[in-house]
C-alpha cells in the first residue's frame, strides 16, 4: 500500500525517472500539451502524428490503431498533476 502511494510522487523508486520525463516535456511545451490531452482523456485519443511519434519514442504512450493512451496508470497519475506546472 505504501509503495503505491509513493509511486506517483517525486520520491523513490520512480521519482528520478518521472522528473526526467517531466523535464523533457518542459523543453517541448507542444509535447506537454499533447500529453496533457492524453492523460486527461478517459479513452485513447488521436494526435498529430509527429507529436504521437515523439511521445511514443519517449515511452510515455501506447499506440492503439491511430489513438494514443498513457503507457501506464503511474504516468497518468503523476503527469495529471505535474503537467499543470508547464501548461
Hey, how many other C-beta atoms are within 10 angstroms of the C-beta on 22? 17
User: Which DSSP category does 43 fall into?
Assistant: S
- Is the bond preceding 21 in cis, omega lying within 30 degrees of 0? no
Predicted confidence pLDDT, tens digits, the chain (87 residues): 565 566 666 666 777 889 999 999 999 999 999 999 999 999 999 999 999 999 999 999 999 999 999 999 889 988 988 887 765
State the pTM of this model: 0.85
C-alpha distances in Å from residue 80, one per residue of 22, 54, 65, 66, 87: 11, 19, 23, 22, 11
Integer CA distances (angstroms), 22 to 18, 42, 56, in order: 6, 21, 15
Amino acid at each position: 500500500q505504501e509503495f503505491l502511494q509513493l509511486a506517483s510522487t517525486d520520491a523513490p523508486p520512480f521519482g528520478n525517472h518521472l522528473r526526467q520525463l517531466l523535464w523533457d516535456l518542459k523543453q517541448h511545451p507542444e509535447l506537454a500539451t499533447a500529453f496533457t490531452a492524453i492523460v486527461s482523456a478517459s479513452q485513447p485519443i488521436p494526435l498529430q502524428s509527429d507529436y504521437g511519434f515523439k511521445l511514443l519514442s519517449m515511452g510515455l504512450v501506447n499506440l492503439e490503431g491511430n489513438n494514443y493512451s498513457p503507457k501506464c496508470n503511474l504516468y497518468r497519475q503523476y503527469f495529471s498533476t505535474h503537467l499543470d506546472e508547464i501548461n
